[in-house]
Structures are given as C-alpha cells and as structure tokens.
Structure 1
C-alpha cells in the first residue's frame, strides 16, 4: 500500500498538525490507534455489554487522527436505541476498516520516506 491507495477516510492534515509534521511521532500515534482499534473492534457487537464504551473510545481516538466520518458514526452508534445498534455498529465497523486501510497506506508512505532520508 502507498499514499496513492488513500480513500479519504482519514484527513491526515489533522494528524500532521497534532504531531507538528514529525514522522516519528505520527508513526507512533498511528501505531497506537491501530492497537486500540484491534482491541475495541472486538466489542463492536450489540450483544456485548461494553459496545457503547468501545464506540465512545473509538470516537475520541478517531477524531485525534483525522477520521471524522468514523467519529461521527461512533457518536451515532453510541446514541442509538438498542434495536438500531446492530446497523449502527456495522456502519462503524465499515468505516473503521476504511480508516485502517488508509492508515496502513499512510504508514507505508512514512516508512518509504524514512528509507529515503
């Protein structure tokens, strides 16, 4: 994957503003996001009691890396009535998958830049 594979699920200018454009810090922040996403995504099922906590946490971390649509969908899921939860959580999972794909492509670009430096 490379930067050409970005879908737009993440506005990396948000991340770059937060990290001051430091590639090492950006890599660290994205690595933490990926780790957290792996942990919390296992809870994105309405039959699991902690699913609202999972979407709440993802909402905050998504906003921090520039994944605005994921943050919006997390907020909607967090507020969803129980009958609407399965569909809301499916939308969150789909958006999370797109965000993770963009992050993988961006991290690949960071790695390539590091090799060239």
Structure 2
C-alpha cells in the first residue's frame, strides 16, 4: 500500500519498473533531470499558469516514482495557479516554497535510493 506521506515509495518504484534496478536507476535519473528543469519555473513572481504548468509536470514525475508527498504539494500549487482568481504573491510564494521543500527532500531520498541500487544492484527492503 502506498504511504500518503512517502518521500519515495520504494514499493511503488519497484512496481513501476518491474523490479528492475537498472530501469529504476534510469527513471530516478530522469526525475532528477526533470526536477532541475522544471523547478526553475517555480517562481511566484511569474504568471501563475507558468508555475502551475511546472507544478503539473513535477506532479506527474513524482507520481511515477512514488513521491506522494511531493505530488500532493504540486497538485495544491497547480490548482491554485489555475484558479479563476490567482493567489496573491504571498500565497503563491508559500505554495511554491512548500513544493520546493518537498522537492529537495525527495531529491535527497532519490539520491539515497540511487546509491543503494548502484551499490547493491538490487532494491533494499522498504
């Protein structure tokens, strides 16, 4: 069962990659690359649709690796950015700060999993 607060649900990642460590490494590296690109667009001073698009893309990437907490923060920011009345700069800054905090934590966890996979060639028990 997926943990709703998981930084990175290893069981989900195993399922999505058919328990293939090499594929998991590739997927995590793609996630890291996506995070680097799209996180630059999480600027509350820009058009809300721009950062909503970035949050949407990060949400999809997060769901693909089992980063449930990050996906939830992204979804909240995305909905706010697409709302009929966009949030104030302060509210947007808080929402995007939450996304960036969760993204940082998730990237740390992804690095740990990558290290585990590269060291042992297998998933460790979650």
Match of 1:38 among 36, 39, 44: 36
Q: How does 1:1-117 map to 2 (within 5 A)?
A: 8-49=6-47, 50-80=50-80, 81-83=86-88, 84-114=91-121
Q: Does 1 or 2 have the higher relative contact order (CA < 8 Å, sep 6+)? A: 1
C-alpha separation between the residues in 2 aligned to 1:12 and 1:47? 35
Partner SS for 1:47: coil
What is the RMSD computed on CA atoms of the aligned residues? 1.0
Give runs of ≥4 in structure 1 deviating > 2 Å. Answer: none
- In structure 2, stretches of 5+ residues that fail to align are 1-5, 81-85, 122-126
TM-score normalized by structure 1? 0.87
More helix by share: 1
CA distance in 2, matches of 1:92, 1:45: 11
Using the size of structure 2 for normalisation, the TM-score is 0.81
Cα distance between partner residues in 1 of 2:111 and 2:74: 21
